[in-house]
Amino acid sequence: MAAMVQPSVGSERHKVWAQWHAPNANLTLTTGMLASELEQAIHKDLQKKDSDFWPLWSDIEVRLSKHIRGRLEQNYGKEDDLWWYDGIPENIRLECAARWEEGRGQGERYGYTYFIDLVAILDKRWRLFEGDFGRVCNEVKAIKRKSDLLNLLEDLNEVRNRHAHAVRAPKPGGELHKKDCEFVQQVKEILDQFCQA
């Protein structure tokens, strides 16, 4: 068995720095493992302090989810959860039900939709959202077809996934982070038009 190599956190100043940014870090790990652990902990800490991206994202996802549900309830009805059974495509219902089971039945199954599921619901039930889309077309010159909006939302999902994973998330304040925040803000403004009651 290989001997444990002490990390190069040599000076007291380095130890204090490591403990501040990653209080749960095991300072007896090998240098490579410690560096990886510290990088992940620091990046998570930076994400928590990121005041631009996540509030925008949360607003978009919650608002779109509520809007879709409202349109489904209007069209299919609330009674006996018809909006759920007739409005949500079967593959998405089954995936949400499986996630709901994994979550030990907390909340409702619709709460287990992923953002990309919402995009798929829009695509499959497009006729219910054509009036909403008309408002967007009148306001946003770059969006003229259904595919324009769906592609924009798929791009938004990719941006969200990039930020959700600490290893590949852009560092707050960096160019990609700023660009992503601007993009999310633009999509939020478009969806504000789309989701008007």
Q: What share of the chain is helix, strand, coil (3-state, %, to 5)?
A: 70, 0, 30
HSE, side-chain direction, 13 A CA sphere, residue 155: 14
Rounded average pLDDT over 108-114: 95
190 is written with which tokens?
Answer: 């478009």
Which residue, among 139, 138, 159, has the nearest Cα to 56 in the 3D structure? Answer: 159
pTM of the model: 0.73
Q: Please tell me the predicted confidence (pLDDT) of residue 21.
A: 53
- Proportion of the chain above pLDDT 70, given as a percent: 74
24 is written with which tokens?
Answer: 């749960």
Domains of the chain, by residue range, sit at 53-194
